[in-house]
């Protein structure tokens, strides 16, 4: 496991970078947005997962610095894609501790102006377990983001204990159904009930439900038959760096033109 000095140096050297995984409409395959995921492009040539550095960043109070780098990288890529005719939502993961930053929302407003982007083109994803840790006062940040037009998503839905309470209290637009339910569909029939009830809940609350972790044709078809409309996972595309994402979209355009 890398130590604190190595992680700090990686952050300064911008080795901690964004990888981008598309979100798609199950019925048509149309891409609606991407989630920005943190990866460490290590000097050794390996790409390390967030578990190898996020705990260190959180302990050292450096999560805001990482997010700032991700926002600049993501918004620049979003602007480039917009210029190519792809108007996509970009989703960033937000940790509960960052909600206490009173200047966070105003910083987002500044970035939106800098990159000529709309608030509605950004989504902030918060894990259900993280919301349990967030004090009530810091949750005001979420309302300020919503007033700017930003979308809010509750991630890993179904793994915590206060989901319904938070959905009632806070202005979320999206539920991301935890990948574990999707991947256990074939082996565990009760997952069908969890997914079905979440879809019904999302519809009744006017919220989008995104199924995470779709990897197989069987899972894709199963969710489509259940009425799920949006998903994310290897079935569509793996997380990729910005250059690969641009090339991936070019390939998608070429395939659609030939069809």
| Cβ neighbours of 12 (radius 10 Å) | 10
| Whole-number Å distance between alpha carbons of 128 and 172 | 12
Alpha-carbon distance of 49 to 55, in angstroms, equals: 12
Any idea what DSSP says for residue 240?
B
Contact 229, 26 (CB under 8 A): yes
Angle, alpha carbons 81-233-41 (nearest 5°): 65
Q: Is 82 exposed, middle or buried (0-12, 13-18, 19+ CB in 10 A)?
A: middle
Dist CA 41 CA 70 (whole Å): 14
Q: Yes or no: say if 91 and 36 are a contact pair by the CB < 8 Å rule.
A: yes
What does the alpha-carbon distance between residue 153 and residue 221 come to, in Å, rounded to a whole number?
Answer: 24
Show which residues are catalytic: 212
Which tokens sit at 62?
């450096």
């Amino acid at each position: 496991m890398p130590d604190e000095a190595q992680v700090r140096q990686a952050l300064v050297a911008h080795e901690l970078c964004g990888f981008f995984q598309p979100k798609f409409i199950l019925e048509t395959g149309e891409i609606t947005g991407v989630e920005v995921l943190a990866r460490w492009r290590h000097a050794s040539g390996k790409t390390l997962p967030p578990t190898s550095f996020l705990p260190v960043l959180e302990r050292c109070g450096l999560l805001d610095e990482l997010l700032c780098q991700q926002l600049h990288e993501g918004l620049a890529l979003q602007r480039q894609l917009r210029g190519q005719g792809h108007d996509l939502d970009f989703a960033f993961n937000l940790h509960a501790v960052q909600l206490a930053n009173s200047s966070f929302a105003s910083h987002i407003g500044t970035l939106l102006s800098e990159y000529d982007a709309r608030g509605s083109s950004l989504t902030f994803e918060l894990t259900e377990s993280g919301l349990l840790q967030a004090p009530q006062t810091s949750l005001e940040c979420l309302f300020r983001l919503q007033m700017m037009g930003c979308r809010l998503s509750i991630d890993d839905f179904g793994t915590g204990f206060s989901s319904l309470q938070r959905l009632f209290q806070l202005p979320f637009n999206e539920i991301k159904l935890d990948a574990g339910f999707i991947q256990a569909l074939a082996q565990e029939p009760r997952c069908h009930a969890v997914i079905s009830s979440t879809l019904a809940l999302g519809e009744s609350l006017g919220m989008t439900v995104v199924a995470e972790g779709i990897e197989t044709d069987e899972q894709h078809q199963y969710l489509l038959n259940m009425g799920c409309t949006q998903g994310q996972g290897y079935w569509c595309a793996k997380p990729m760096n910005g250059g690969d994402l641009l090339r991936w979209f070019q390939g998608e355009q070429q395939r659609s033109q030939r069809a």
